[in-house]
Amino acid sequence: MDIHTTTLPRTTTQPAVRLVDVHKTYAGATPVAALRGVTLDLGRGTVTAIMGQSGSGKSTLLNVAAGLDQPTRGRVVIGDQDTAGLSPDRLTRLRREQVGFVFQSYNLIGHLDVRANIELPLVLGGRSTDEAWLAELVGSLGLTGLTGRLPGELSGGQAQRVAIARALVTRPTVVFADEPTGALDSRTGAQVLELLRDTARRLDQTVVLVTHDSVVAAAAERVVLLADGLVVDELLAPTVEQVTARMLGLGR
């Protein structure tokens, strides 16, 4: 299972995910331009927070970067693979092998128990479960004793942690998380964040998370601020105060 960490060349010059002039417009009666030309490199092994007000395009950016959605225009490169022109199934396989995604709405399958939900990406990929790794995830995410439960029997925070375990179980090279601490109290949120960062460091993962929380964002190495579908600002090694100030600035 360590293949991913050992065979991928560690080159700082090549980012884990690269977006070049990415546009995304949702078709409809009134087309919505969610992204209007985003160019962004997400460096290997880094933790990046994406911030912005509601409707600024954060979730769309995350979906497009993760290969869950196709850009209307522009290029998305995951690892060394340009996603343009990939068949939907090739894209799905690429995603399954390299990307973990924590959904804001958890996206757990209602009739599968916690363990089956976590194992799902492995089952779909035809891979066997690394029991030690699963036990470690379950233990460190505080899910011990819950693996037999159905999603409907979990609290919001528990469901969130199951979603995180599912995103990490394949040891992806990039982890995207849409408001991963949104449903958690600040203490649990801090723990979950710690786990994400810890795992990222150990597995040399790239982490990209969308958040509203300045404290969470300040834990990242880099904060990208989005407004109206464009990158408007960037902070490196930010403090909570800096992040809060910038966010307030966006609101004006």
| Binding residues for other proteins (CB under 8 A) | 63, 68-70, 88-89, 92-93, 95-96, 101, 103, 106-112, 116, 119-121, 123-125, 129, 150-154, 156, 159, 166
- Give the nearer residue to other proteins in terms of CB position, either 209 or 218: 209
- Give the nearer residue to other proteins in terms of CB position, either 101 or 222: 101
CA distance 180 to 178: 6
- Give the nearer residue to other proteins in terms of CB position, either 172 or 189: 172
CA distance 34 to 29: 15
Order across the sheet with 230-236: list the strands.
99-102, 174-178, 206-210, 47-52, 222-227, 230-236
Least Å distance between CB 174 and other proteins? 13
Least Å distance between CB 40 and other proteins? 19
Contact of 18 with 42, CB cutoff 8 Å: yes
Least Å distance between CB 170 and other proteins? 8
* Residue 189 in tokens: 């949120």
Nearest 5 degrees, angle CA 127-CA 173-CA 14?
A: 140
- Give the nearer residue to other proteins in terms of CB position, either 108 or 210: 108
Least Å distance between CB 238 and other proteins? 29
